[in-house]
Amino acid sequence: MPSYNNTRQTTTLHLIALFEALKGLAAIAASLGLLRLAHHDLQALAHALIGHFHLDPEAHYPRLLLDEAALLANTDLRQVVLLLWAYSAIRLAEAYGLWRDRAWAEWLTAASGALYLPLEISHLLHRSTWINAAVLILNMAVVVYMVARLRRRRITAAPASSI
């Protein structure tokens, strides 16, 4: 019979795996959306959307939409889609490995999470919101949890290898 602590650790690992899978699926959805927009005038679509909802094009969020549409119009969407697919493949592989309790997935999760920390800290310093703070704290918690699991894994494997 598994202990409470072991069950809790498995549940936590599965929750992280589901979150990673969700990020991978979201990247696939975003890439499919971009592919659908590949042969459209994105700025015209953005203006039509803003007009449909009777928004002021000079307001903050409509302006952001127009700026992003202009940026995407000058971008090779195929490259963006390929990057999204690569990101998705990594996230889905990571989710699979975490779900199956694989050490390589814990390494991948810890490393990829740690890579984002400087960017998230910088983003929080430039635009302090509770969402940015929550993302940073959640990512830090996942990295710390994965490092702790990897240490535990190494400690439990050490006596067996010294025999």
Tens digit of each residue's pLDDT, the chain (163 residues) = 445 568 888 899 999 999 999 999 999 999 999 888 888 888 898 999 999 999 999 998 899 999 988 888 778 888 989 999 999 999 999 999 999 999 999 999 999 999 999 999 999 999 899 999 999 999 999 999 999 999 999 888 776 555 5
Tally of CB atoms within 10 A around 108:
19
Domain range annotation of the chain: 1-100, 102-163
Predicted local confidence at residue 4, as pLDDT? 55
Predicted local confidence at residue 157, as pLDDT? 79
Query: pTM for the whole thing?
Result: 0.78
Structural tokens at position 145: 């949890």
Predicted local confidence at residue 1, as pLDDT? 42
Predicted local confidence at residue 18, as pLDDT? 97
Nearest to 124 by CA among 136, 114, 116: 136
Predicted local confidence at residue 9, as pLDDT? 86
DSSP state, residue 162 = T
